[in-house]
Amino acid sequence: KNDPPKTNLTDERDELCFEPQTSDATGYSDTDEAVLTCSKSNTAPTQCSNGQKSKRPSSPGPHPSKTTCVATHTTNTKLHLCLSFSSRNPVCNPIDVEMLSPDSPVCKTLFNNSADQDCDGGFCAEHSAFAKAQVMESQQTIKDSDPGSSTKERDHLPAMGSEDAEIAEHSGSSNMSQDLIESQPDAILQRSLERFSLQLFFFFVSCPSHNIETKWQGTPIDELNRLPQCAPPLSHLKSAPHHTVTVRTDLLREGEVPVPYPTKFKDAWDDSSVKMPCSEKNLFPMETEDGNGVQSRWDLIRTALQRGFKSCLDVRDAILRYNTAHAKKWDFTALNLLCTECLEHCEVQQLFDTILPAMVNLALTAPRLCTMPIPLLKSRMNQSLTLSQGQIACLLANAFFCTFPRRNSRKSEYGNYPEINFYRLFEGSSPRKIEKLKTLLCYFRRVTQNTPKGLVTFTRQTLNNPPDWESSQTQLTRLHITCEGTIEEHGYGMLQVDFANRFVGGGVTGHGLVQEEIRFLINPELIISRLFTEALEYNECLIITGAEQYSKYSGYAESYKWVGSHEDETPRDDWQRRCTEIVAIDALKYRHFLEQFLPEKMTRELNKAYCGFHRNNANRKHLSAVATGNWGCGAFGGDTRLKALIQFMAAAEAGRDVAYFTFGDAQLMKDVHDMHAFLTERRVTVGQLYDLLNQYFNEVCKNCHTTRPDVSLYRFIYETVSSPAASDTLNSAKDSGMSPVTSDSH
């Protein structure tokens, strides 16, 4: 049994110190070792954690400050939250994300000895041999075009792009006759030089980089579009047939708590709405003298919760009082460990005297706060729901106390919906559960002390007419790629990708603790989407606008730690939503590596990403950049380099730039940036890249008898695009006037 570390979480402000005074630290920090300590009197000095600018853009509009820092020194020895970077389970190398990519297959194939030699952005030891080989390539090209040259003479020279040419330092003559060059037509010489330059570019791109010092490449991140600066004016907020709004929009004011609408609770116990715990039709079976009877389950909930709690056993007994069918199954070990082994006595006292009673009061306000029936966002629907942050807090408090009816079994009518009641969060002795509980109790402390004053919108979007990828003339958009930082921190104001499960939130209320679960924990208002969002279909996504961040964290998966309370300074839009837009898109899970290169699989992922990035009738100048990373990789078996290209294609077709976070993988950063630069320079369109991906499957993967192909995807693209035939095709496309089609036309 791995006992969770004991953590003092109290400070002098009479708060459950789910609030240590540290700098903001994230789970993808590069530091080798750090101890994050909460202090009553001392604040840890901080230093910038990466080379990117964290300042807000200088364009008009509110620009809340946000800086990425890591704690560098601490003094308090009593109150601490330890962040361990052990070699066994390092933070920068989580099990669910491919963090450190293997050596480039291109390099392994092209340069036999490159692993033993450094390239400093310029010339490798093989450079002279490579250059000489290319001179001979040019000579061969000229001789091949000369009717007077013999077949024997042509065959003696190495073929362009072959391995022999790349290592042949002494094969053939290294002295080309100048008068031979001058005797040939200019067009032939120009083609020779062009081929040489392409191969030389390929050489530099493929050269392994063992000492990559740069932390980002591509377009500076501050040049990419962000909300609210790029956003168009919003129309007046009001309910519509496909948009349910649960507050009085005429009374919506900045800095004021939204007023629920309608005034009185409207019950709806049907197949289109969430079945609420306070519904009159929520009945509980009971034995009577006359036989079997029923009573109001809401009355039973109120009675059980209002008795008060003196220990976690009281919490367990209260929850099981109205969930008797699960009394022998549900386990409250994690909650018990939190109270008995992880919190100080004063913290436990405050938890039971202040925080839990406030959560009970919040949960029991449901008939007054959540007065409008909450629609289910079912599959194949384009539907939006806007709730107040106060209403979401009330619903989450009910989820904590497991009050939602018919939501405790996969065999119920809600079997195609995610779990919402928190009973799985309380079970087991995993340290993950302890840290999850700390993170969520921080949220509940905050919202019970001060009611949040904004709104959050949930939109289920279905893509009925996907793009014709094969014929697309759209070119790739701009890219910023970095091996430092996180999507939520450095991608502020952008469309932030949630690497989702089709059941949104994944294992957030269970054992899961990777990218999606962490985001749902630090922005707990995302969790309420599980109450009403049916499992996503292949052509659907969920967009959440306005979710607030309440906690800081460090680590990932087993190393995840709650660090402290976070004050979200993101500005609000005219609908009083935080300018934080998150899109949940679920990738496919692959049993075998080669499976993902099937054309139908790649097309599915393209359509899924495009569904998340696309906005109907939007002008691209009003679209924020996409902040994303290794979507569907790690546990889902996706190839990082393929998934990067797929997301670039979808973003281009949707008219968005891309900020790509590799989460510590500097080699991946370089490989992806170099490929993007190569494709952009060659003006390769989305349609041409789609064709290249299909060619790769047909020529490399289709008849592959090993678990992984001998030729990597990027090597195949480099060689194919650099070939003379491809050059002719691309040049003819330019000459015919084919130009990129802006996303506004799609």
Token code pair at residue 561: 């730690």
> Is the distance from CB of 564 to CB of 38 less than 8 angstroms?
yes
pLDDT given for residue 46 in this prediction: 38
Burial group, residue 738, by CB count within 10 angstroms (0-12, 13-18, 19+): middle
**Contact of 565 with 550, CB cutoff 8 Å:** yes
Confidence of residue 399 (pLDDT cuts 50, 70, 90): very high
Does the structure show a pLDDT above 80 at 12? Answer: no
Residue that the structure tokens 């409207």 belong to? 266
For residue range 540-567, list pLDDT tens digits in order.
999 999 999 999 999 999 999 999 999 9
Helix-strand-coil split of the chain, %, nearest 5: 40, 15, 50
Q: Which residue segment(s) compose the domain that 200 sits in?
A: 107-206
For residues 583-599, average pLDDT = 98
Token digits for 719?
A: 């060689």
pLDDT, residue 112, reads 40
Among residues 367, 521, 346, 517, the alpha carbon closest in space to that of 444 is found at 521
Placement of tokens 């430092």 in the chain: 484
Which residues have a catalytic role annotated?
Answer: 498, 516-517
Q: Helices (DSSP H) in 342-388: which residue ranges?
A: 345-350, 356-363, 366-369
Q: Would the pLDDT of 331 be above 90? A: yes
Q: State residue 439's pLDDT score.
A: 98
For position 442, what pLDDT does the model report? 98
Confidence of residue 742 (pLDDT cuts 50, 70, 90): very low
Residue 131 lies in a domain: yes
Is residue 377's pLDDT more than 80?
Answer: yes
pLDDT value of position 634: 87
686 has a pLDDT exceeding 90 = yes
Does pLDDT of 93 surpass 50? no
Please indicate, yes or no, if residue 114 is contained in any of the structural domains. yes
Q: What is the mean pLDDT of residues 365-388?
A: 98
Q: Which residue has the higher pLDDT, 612 or 61?
A: 612
Q: What is the DSSP string of 644-671?
A: HHHHHHHHHHHT--EEEE-TT-HHHHHH
Query: pLDDT tens across 159-213, in order?
Result: 333 333 333 333 333 343 344 334 445 555 565 555 655 555 555 554 444 444 7
Range ranked top by mean pLDDT from 8-17, 344-353, 381-390, 732-741: 381-390
The reply to whether 127 falls in a domain is: yes
Q: Residue 171: inside a domain, yes or no?
A: yes
Pick the residue with more confidence: 370 or 197? 370
Q: Poorest-confidence range of 10-19, 360-369, 656-665?
A: 10-19
Flag whether 311 is in a domain: no
Spatial CA neighbour of 565 closest among 440, 713, 692? 440
pLDDT tens-place string over residues 201-257: 555 554 444 444 789 999 999 999 999 999 999 999 999 999 999 999 999 999 999
Over residues 627-643, the pLDDT tens digits come to 999 999 989 999 999 99
pLDDT of residue 196: 59
Distance CA 268, CA 212 (A): 60
Determine what percent of the chain is predicted with pLDDT higher than 70: 68
Instruction: Indicate the angle between helix axes 431-449 and 356-363, nearest 10 degrees.
Output: 70
Residue 593 lies in a domain: no
Q: 401-419, pLDDT tens digit by residue?
A: 999 999 998 888 999 999 9
Residue the block writes with tokens 């002390």: 449
* 736-741, long-range: CB < 8 A, 24+ apart: 738/473, 738/685, 739/473, 740/473, 740/474, 740/475, 740/683, 740/685, 741/472, 741/473, 741/474
Q: What is the mean pLDDT of the chain?
A: 80
Q: What's the number of domains the chain is made of?
A: 1
- Read off the pLDDT band of 38 (50, 70, 90): very low
Distance of CA 227 to the CA centre of its chain: 18
Name the binding residues for substrate: 501, 515, 556
How far is residue 652's CA from residue 3's CA, in Å, rounded to a whole number? Answer: 48
Mean pLDDT of 144-152: 39
Q: Distance between CA 254 and CA 572 in Å, rounded?
A: 9
| pTM (2 d.p.) | 0.74
Q: Are strands 626-628 and 495-500 parallel, antiparallel or unpaired?
A: parallel
Is residue 96 within 8 A of residue 630, CB to CB? The reply is: no
In a domain, 620, yes or no: no
687-737 pLDDT per residue, tens:
999 999 999 999 999 999 999 999 999 999 999 999 987 766 666 555 544
At 371 the pLDDT is 99
pLDDT at 395 over 70: yes
The answer to whether residue 161 sits within a structural domain is yes
Residue 352 above 60 pLDDT? yes
Highest mean pLDDT among 12-21, 94-103, 551-560: 551-560
Decide: 4 and 342 in contact? Cβ < 8 Å.
yes
Distance CA 720, CA 714 (A): 10
- For 107, half-sphere exposure in the C-beta direction (CA atoms, 13 angstrom radius) is 20
